[in-house]
Amino acid sequence: MKGGMVKKCAIAFLALAAIAVIAWFAMRPAAEDGRKRPSDKSVEAGRKGRLARRAGKKPLNARERVRQIVATESKGMRRRRPSAEMFANLRGRDRALAETIQKALDDGNYDEVIKSVDAAMASDNAEVRSHLVDALGWFGVEALPELTVLMADQDDDVAESAQAQWVIALADVENAGKRMEIGLSVLATLSNENMLADVSGEVSNAALEYIDGDSGDSASQDERRVAVVQALLDIIDGDRPACSKAAKETYEEITGNEWLGVDEAERYLRNPDGYEPPDMRGDDSGSAESF
């Protein structure tokens, strides 16, 4: 009797053990090449956090960011602009505002020009905003934050004029790293595709100079390159399609590689000098756009 009872208990124990093993295999994530594959949710969670994205942070304020960058730059007008009567088409408040800006410009007083910036930007008259762009252009680097905002003006002529002044002022920033950061701030916020293409070129030039030149810090070229690409991936991951497109083009200029999606970009980041695209590795991984 006792022997039969022991036998029955042993059979029951083995049956329970078998069920447990089957359940464990059924619930375990599928594996490839003997390696455990994470679930789709864990992959997505890892992707969102992989490079310390801006997710969860406040939207980038390009004006304030550029102001921080140029705070230590040398200031001063390029040259004085003579006073002239050019407000024949303006009346009332718009004319008074334009004349106030002109007077501050004639006096070389940037602080007084700045006092009128927000009011001029809010004017429905494009001529007032255009005159503001002209005035700001004479102050060079100091006016970059406001020119950055005016590059997004609803009037094409105003926006294009602001961009032209922005490019001239940007060239006055001697530090390539700062020029790159200013460009990245615009690349992350502008919506005009044609203007973004020009900004992309400015960012690429500044970034390559920053990566290859003497930046004044202890970072290696690879470390600088990784930092630049990470900043571009922040923009690519954003919710502005035009900015994302421009950032991908900048990525190609800086890395010398075709944009093949974020996974392939991260593979590049792990080994910039030793990176090979899929067609040179003999595989097709990363050949499709991730998003």
Grouping H, G, I as helix, E, B as strand and the rest as coil, residue 31 is strand
C-alpha angle with apex 229: 226 to 230, nearest 5 degrees?
85
**Sign for the pseudo-dihedral over CA of 171, 174, 180, 181:** negative
| Residues found in the chain | 291
Residues in a beta bridge with 32: 35
Pairwise CA distance, residues 124 & 237, whole Å: 34
Point out the residues of the chain with pLDDT beneath 70.
Answer: 1-59, 74-88, 214-217, 283-291
pLDDT tens digits, one per residue of 143-178? 999 999 999 999 999 999 999 999 999 999 989 999
Could you count the other beta carbons within 10 Å of the beta carbon of residue 146? 26
Q: What are the tens digits of pLDDT across the range 38-61?
A: 444 443 444 344 333 444 455 678
Could you tell me the pTM of the whole model?
0.71
If we measure between CA atoms, which residue out of 268, 275, 265 comes closest to residue 244? 265
- By three-state DSSP, how is residue 32 classified? strand
Which pLDDT score is estimated for 252? 95
| Angle, vertex CA 43, rays to CA 38 and CA 45, nearest 5 | 125
What is the structure's pLDDT at 82? 41
